[in-house]
Amino acid sequence: MNSNSKNFDVLKDMTCEVHQGKKVTSVMFEQSKSISLQQCFQCDQCCINNPKLQRMTLENLINYCNKKKEQNFNERLYILLEIYNKSIDNLKTLTQNLEKEVLNLIKQVDKYLDQKLFDIYKLVASQELYMHINHQRLTDDNEELFKKQINEDFNKQILQKIEPFKDFNEYPKFEKEFDNFLLKLNEKKQQEQGFQTVGYPITQPEVCYSIDFNNTNNLMISGCNNNIRVWEFNAGKMNQIHNIEAHSSQVTYLLFSKIQNNFISGSSEGSLKCWSIKNNKQLESSDTYEYHPKGISCIITNKSENLLFTGDMEQNILIWEANFSLKQLQFLTSLVSHQNRIFGLSLNESETILASCSYDKQIIIWRKISNQQWQFERNINQYYSEFGIRIKFISNDRLIWIPGSRESQDCLFDIQLDDKNVLKQLQKQELSKCQNTIDGVYFPIVCLKVNGQNIIIVKHKLTIYLFKVTKKGDLSIVALWIQKSADFFGAVTNDGQYMVIWEQSEQRYQIYKIVI
């Protein structure tokens, strides 16, 4: 059938204007200006309602037109019709091709999303298999690599895949849903940051003021009244291997060497001892060093661990020449300027400046002249009227300290010193208000670098804070953990992965995973 006859055949699909839905069967030839062309096409019902009107069946009309088209129709109209017909056919072909391309794109995106999900499941399964084969938890390096493999440029890749659809009506909905997905992912990540409880608490009714870890984090020491407990520590699990009587009075401070399995202990009567642990089994101690008149409140060393600094609950800071390997201490000198109990000591990075804080409300800067000579430089606490409970250099010329009095400002003070150790910058980080609570001594400030990020863990009264140091150098609170009372003491592993505290109110140890 040629295109002209095809044009007439479309009349067979017409429906009646009066009786909608019924097919046209005849054509009326009444001449009247009031009757439209469309009304001339009628169905069987029209014929029944008006039988006297002149009509021709639709089929006869089509046959007549096909035979007489040259005589009755303008050829130019057919040419124009052919042009429209061809153009529309071309457009239909293009839309069909576009439909195929869109469907193909959709299949590609679907396939990509399925593959991404499969890759994630495969990674999870492989890590699970790794755990079973090695009979251990994921190492931190493996866990970080695993997270990186899942999240690496994930949102960027997805958005690239759906880029061709950005002009479609559904694209804004997809984009909104994807944004919600990323928001939930970030919220989940933020919820996971901070301190997560690991395992079950370990009961210890005896008082524990101090905890510390060796340099490889596989040994932990803790106070237990007059005794020292030694624990194997593995992936957040503690197993006691020693419980030895250490002093004739309460153990108040423990400091593990960061070079070898030796440590220092201090007691409430002011005595010091050096200890060595051989093959995690044999525990040996030195003679007792009794130079402090009252209890040991803080102990620090320099990086090479040949100098030891000790503070007590009277007003004394003593400096010792130390030999951890031989378990020996040699008294060098004392620093006398404070008028009351020493609460905190800290060396700057170059080890030329010592900062000390005391119950006498002084924060003193001491300058090194030699190992045996340190001179008073200045008191920088003239801006405050309260004592510092904790102090720590976080760089060569920047230190932080926290007051601990019952009516303290409940702030972390961030102090910048110039090259003459004069205060040149002072910032204040607000902490949780906790009036009528006095902070407990011990549990020093912890500064570590974890996964390329500088973190600071600080105890203040009822709360443990986890800070990140931003690129600008500001301190940003990432998480906090609130206890029932201020009487809890603890330490953080040297890799910044775990924290162990002893809670006096619950008389137990609790282990926490630190998530950054």
Give the tens place of pLDDT for each residue, 390-429: 999 999 999 999 998 888 888 999 988 887 777 777 788 8
pLDDT at 1 over 50: no
Token couple for 306: 């040949």
Structure tokens that stand for 257 in this block: 């060497």
Label residue 162 by pLDDT band (50, 70, 90).
low
Is residue 138 very low, low, confident or very high in pLDDT (cuts 50, 70, 90)? very low
**Mean pLDDT of all residues in the chain?**
83
Q: Are residues 112 and 60 in the same domain?
A: no
Q: Domain check: are 102 and 175 in the same one?
A: yes
Least confident of 86-90, 231-235, 325-329: 86-90
Is the distance from CB of 391 to CB of 417 less than 8 angstroms? no
Per-residue pLDDT, 428 = 86
Q: Do both 68 and 127 map to the same domain?
A: no
- Range 431-444 average pLDDT: 87
Same domain, 146 and 175: yes
436: left (phi over 0), alpha (psi -120 to 50) or beta: left
Q: How far apart are CA 422 and CA 417, in angstroms?
A: 5
Q: Could you tell me the pLDDT band of residue 77, with boundaries at 50, 70 and 90?
A: low
pLDDT value at position 135?
45
- For the chain, the domain total comes to 2
Shared-domain flag, residues 97 and 169: yes
Q: Is residue 29 part of a domain?
A: yes
pLDDT at position 291: 95
Judge if 9 and 56 occupy the same domain. yes
d(CA 457, CA 496): 9
Cβ atoms within 10 Å of 291's Cβ, excluding its own = 15
Nearest to 494 by CA among 196, 138, 210, 217: 217
CA 79/CA 74 separation, integer angstroms = 9
One domain for residues 38 and 112: no
Kindly state whether residues 184 and 114 are assigned to the same domain: yes
d(CA 84, CA 114): 44
Residue 299 lies in a domain: no
Higher-scoring residue by pLDDT: 512, 83: 512
Whether residues 62 and 119 share a domain: the answer is no
In the Cβ-directed half-sphere of 121, how many Cα atoms lie within 13 Å? 6
Other C-beta atoms lying within 10 Å of the C-beta of residue 508: 16
Q: Do 120 and 185 contact (CB within 8 A), yes or no?
A: no
Q: Looking at residues 52-67, what average pLDDT do you find?
A: 81
Asked which of 177, 192, 207 is the last residue of a domain, the reply is 192
Same domain? 68 vs 116: no
More confident position, 41 or 132:
41
Residues 234 and 213: their CA atoms lie apart, in Å, by 12
- Are 399 and 391 contacting, i.e. CB atoms less than 8 angstroms apart? yes
Could you give the CA distance from residue 159 to residue 157 in angstroms, rounded to a whole number? 6
> Mean per-residue pLDDT for 437-446?
91
**Cβ 387 vs Cβ 403: under 8 Å:** yes
Question: What is the model's pLDDT at position 516?
Answer: 81
- DSSP 8-class letter at 339: S
Domain membership flag for residue 160:
yes
Q: Which residues of 25-61 are buried (b: 16+ CB within 10 A; e: fewer)?
A: bbbbeeeeeeeeeeebbbbeebeeeeeeeebeebeeb
Last residue of one domain, picked from the residues 44, 73, 102: 73
pLDDT at residue 59 is higher than 70: yes
Query: CA angle at residue 303 from 460 to 227, to 5 degrees?
Result: 60
Question: What pLDDT was estimated at residue 122?
Answer: 62
Write out the DSSP string of 89-137.
HHHHHHHHHHHHHHHHHHHHHHHHHHHHHHHHHHHHHHHHHHHHHHTSP
Q: What pLDDT is recorded for position 136?
A: 46
The mean per-residue pLDDT over the stretch 181-188 comes to 59
Domain assignment of residue 151, yes or no: yes
Over the stretch 9-39, which tens digit does the pLDDT of each residue have?
677 788 888 888 888 899 888 767 677 878 8
Q: Can you give the residue range of the structural domain that contains 68? A: 3-73
Out of 162, 192, 222, a domain closes at 192
**Would 204 be classed as within a structural domain?**
no
User: According to the model, what pLDDT value does residue 140 have?
Assistant: 44
Residue 403 CB-density burial (10 A; 0-12 exposed, 13-18 middle, 19+ buried): buried
Rg (C-alpha) for the chain, rounded Å, is 42
Burial class (CB in 10 A: 0-12, 13-18, 19+), 256: buried
DSSP assigned state of 143: H
pLDDT score recorded for residue 12:
79
Cβ atoms of 169 and 176 within 8 Å: the answer is no
The lowest-confidence range among 262-276, 284-298, 465-479 is 465-479
User: Which residue's entry shows tokens 């984090």?
Assistant: 217
Q: Is the pLDDT score of 337 beyond 70?
A: yes
**pLDDT for 340-370, tens place per residue?**
999 999 999 999 999 999 999 999 999 999 8
Looking at the structure, tell me whether residues 63 and 102 fall in a common domain. no
Is residue 50 pLDDT above 90, yes or no?
no
**The two structure tokens encoding residue 41:** 């096409």
pLDDT > 70 fraction of the chain, expressed in percent and rounded: 77
Evaluated on CA atoms 292, 295, 300, 301, the torsion sign reads positive
- 180, part of any domain: yes
Confidence label for 69 from pLDDT (cuts 50, 70 and 90): low
Percent over 90 (pLDDT), the chain? 46
Q: How many helices (H) and strands (E) does the chain have?
A: 7, 31
Buried/exposed code over 431-460 (b: 16+ C-beta within 10 A; e: otherwise): beebeebebbbbbbbbbbeeeeebbbbbbb
Q: Identify the weakest region by mean pLDDT among 54-63, 224-233, 301-310.
A: 54-63
* Residue 31 located in a structural domain: yes
Number of CB atoms found within 10 A of residue 83's CB: 10
User: Does any domain span residue 270?
Assistant: no
